[in-house]
């Protein structure tokens, strides 16, 4: 089994990664939803898209923000714990 200090460090990094992902997801959704709506109002080609396609326009940046920020925060945490960053 791992020692308690290592488990605490792992838990800290997972927590940082989770909340970093949440921040990225919120940012992605905050940007993509209004832009998709504005494009829907402005461009006829966007209005012709299916509901699935419009949903993808909103949800894709949400997932990108979550996973990218989660990985970046995890990396920062590991570097910080090793004294590199």
pLDDT over 70 (residue 15): yes
Sign of the C-alpha dihedral computed for residues 9, 15, 19 and 22 taken in this order: positive
Mean pLDDT of the 11-17 span? 95
**pLDDT at position 1 over 60:** no
In this prediction the pTM is 0.83
Count of alpha carbons within 13 Å of 20, Cβ hemisphere only? 17
| Domain residue spans of the chain | 4-82
Mean pLDDT of 8-19: 95
Q: What are the tens digits of pLDDT across the range 24-77?
A: 999 999 999 999 999 999 999 999 999 999 999 999 999 999 999 999 999 999
């Amino acid at each position: 089994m791992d020692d308690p200090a290592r488990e605490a460090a792992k838990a800290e990094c997972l927590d940082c990664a989770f909340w970093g992902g949440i921040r990225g997801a919120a940012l992605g959704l905050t940007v993509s939803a209004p832009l998709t709506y504005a494009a829907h109002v402005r461009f006829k080609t966007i209005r012709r898209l299916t509901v699935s396609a419009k949903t993808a326009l909103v949800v894709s940046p949400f997932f990108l923000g979550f996973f990218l920020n989660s990985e970046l925060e995890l990396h920062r945490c590991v570097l910080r714990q090793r004294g590199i960053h």
